Amino acid sequence: MFKKGLPIGTIVVILVIALAAIGVGYGLWSKVLFIGGTVNTGNVNADFDAANTTDPGTTIDPGSDKNVGSCEVTGALTDELTVTIVNGYPGYSCDVYFYVTNTGSIPVKVQAYNLTGVPAELVVTTTGLPIGTQIEPATQIEGSGEALGDLHIRVLQEAEELASYSFSAAITLVQWNEYDLLGSAMALCQKNPTNWTCVPGATGVLFYGPSAPTFVYDFNAEGLALGTEYSLIYYPEPRGTTWPWPVRVIHYGTPDADGDLHLAGSFDFNMDLDGVKIWLVPSADIVGGSMSGWNPGNYLFEETLITYDDTDVGP
């Protein structure tokens, strides 16, 4: 005679109770493993290692048979060169050759080459250091670490006697793996309010997408005053307006302990921008959406103008 088996549901319950009893009897043995880590970052840095011109003043002028003008360059082993033409005249020209050396530990690429403030009486062109040029760290790869550039300057017939003409140029270098991150870049610098050329001091780089539904940006600055809040602003030319000039604040923030500031995000202008200015100014100089103060020695000014296509705005 066969005995009737237990229902399936009962068997399941018994198994569960049995497993629970084992757990109570033996407990849980365990071991935790830990992983410690250290990340040492490198740095991006570059200088003008050497610079010279085709007319230092001791030879005849280029393309001429007389020694009349001279073209001098200073600032080697720094991050700013100064070119001075003395006794220039219509038709005079010179070339400034310079070496950019990667003195950091991270490879860099040339993201942008901006010329600003070039008067109609001059022609200024650059060669030898095209966009996308990669410069390896000088201390890591033997035989590399520098790139040669050429700045050509020519005085045109429109130049006046006893006049002074100024311009500025900026080379924007970025870490090699972030090259062309957003498509366009512009440099910002402190300027001499007399002739509006760049002077040594704080600097900034603005990366931005030139065509998008919103203005996408990534901004980095260094050498700023500690404890001061700064605003990145769109500064429209004050045509037909009176002081205080209206501005639009894109983003704001306070530098870290090293004087560095990073701002990133997107801003909806709801319009196209055609050759406009982007500045970095202390937030205290802005009240109610307008510039209420004017302290240009504390500002970073544009090295070129912004052109942006808002793809959400119809033609």
85 or 145, which is more confident: 85
13 has a pLDDT exceeding 80: no
Q: Looking at residues 244-269, what average pLDDT do you find?
A: 94
In this structure, is residue 97 part of a structural domain? yes
| Listed residues 177, 206, 232: the one ending a domain | 177
Question: Total structural domains in the chain?
Answer: 2
DSSP 195: T
Q: Looking at residues 294-299, what average pLDDT do you find?
A: 94
Instruction: Look at 17-26, 93-102, 157-166, 236-245 and tell me which has the smallest mean pLDDT.
Output: 17-26
| Listed residues 152, 177, 202: the one ending a domain | 177
Q: Pick from 229, 210, 232: which is nearest to 219 by CA?
A: 232
Dihedral (Cα; 20, 23, 26, 32), 10-degree rounding: 180
Q: Looking at residues 101-130, what average pLDDT do you find?
A: 87
Q: How many CA atoms lie within 13 A of 144 on its CB side?
A: 12
Please spell the DSSP secondary structure of 47-110, one letter per residue: EEEEEEES--SSSPPTTSSS---EEEEE-TTBS--EEEEES--TT-EEEEEEEEEE-SSS-EEE
Q: In what order do the strands lie in the sheet with 108-116?
A: 134-135, 108-116, 168-175
- Kindly report the average pLDDT of the chain as a whole number: 84
Same domain, 263 and 134: no
Report the pLDDT value the prediction gives residue 6, as an integer from 0 to 100: 36
Name the burial class of residue 61, with classes exposed (0-12), middle (13-18) and buried (19+) by CB atoms within 10 angstroms of its CB: buried
In this structure, is residue 126 part of a structural domain? yes
Same domain, 113 and 168: yes
Band (pLDDT 50/70/90 cuts) for residue 241 is: low
Same domain, 315 and 185: yes
Report the pLDDT value the prediction gives residue 306, as an integer from 0 to 100: 87
Neighbours of 24 (CB within 10 A): 7
Contact 150, 169 (CB under 8 A): no
Report the pLDDT value the prediction gives residue 285, as an integer from 0 to 100: 96
26 has a pLDDT exceeding 90: no
Q: What percent of the chain lies above the pLDDT cut of 70?
A: 88
- Structural domain including 236 reads 181-315
Q: Looking at residues 263-271, what average pLDDT do you find?
A: 94
In this structure, is residue 23 part of a structural domain? no
| Listed residues 147, 177, 207: the one ending a domain | 177
Band (pLDDT 50/70/90 cuts) for residue 234 is: very high
Name the burial class of residue 97, with classes exposed (0-12), middle (13-18) and buried (19+) by CB atoms within 10 angstroms of its CB: middle
Same domain, 151 and 231: no
27 has a pLDDT exceeding 80: no
Residues 32 and 30: their CA atoms lie apart, in Å, by 7
Q: Looking at residues 147-172, what average pLDDT do you find?
A: 91
19 has a pLDDT exceeding 50: no
Same domain, 169 and 214: no
Same domain, 189 and 156: no
In this structure, is residue 14 part of a structural domain? no
According to the per-residue pLDDT averaged within each range, which of 5-9, 101-105, 235-239 is highest? Answer: 101-105
CA 47 to chain centre: 15
Same domain, 53 and 166: yes
Same domain, 163 and 189: no
Same domain, 196 and 156: no
Same domain, 173 and 185: no
3 has a pLDDT exceeding 50: no
Q: How many CA atoms lie within 13 A of 147 on its CB side?
A: 20
Band (pLDDT 50/70/90 cuts) for residue 14 is: very low
Residues 136 and 122: their CA atoms lie apart, in Å, by 34
Report the pLDDT value the prediction gives residue 43, as an integer from 0 to 100: 86
Report the pLDDT value the prediction gives residue 232, as an integer from 0 to 100: 98
Please spell the DSSP secondary structure of 2-33, one letter per residue: PPPPPPHHHHHHHHHHHHHHHHHHH-------
88 has a pLDDT exceeding 90: yes
Same domain, 247 and 312: yes
Neighbours of 167 (CB within 10 A): 17
281 or 171, which is more confident: 281
Same domain, 173 and 207: no
In this structure, is residue 54 part of a structural domain? yes
In this structure, is residue 40 part of a structural domain? no
In this structure, is residue 5 part of a structural domain? no
In this structure, is residue 20 part of a structural domain? no
pTM: 0.69
Neighbours of 36 (CB within 10 A): 4
Q: What is the CATH classification number for the domain harbouring 314?
A: 2.60.40
DSSP 244: S
19 or 137, which is more confident: 137
CA 57 to chain centre: 35
Q: Where are the beta strands (DSSP E) in 134-256?
A: 134-135, 146-155, 168-175, 184-191, 198-208, 211-212, 215-222, 230-235, 248-253
CA 265 to chain centre: 15
189 has a pLDDT exceeding 80: yes
Report the pLDDT value the prediction gives residue 21, as an integer from 0 to 100: 41
In terms of phi and psi (left: phi > 0; alpha: psi -120 to 50; beta: otherwise), the region of 76 is beta
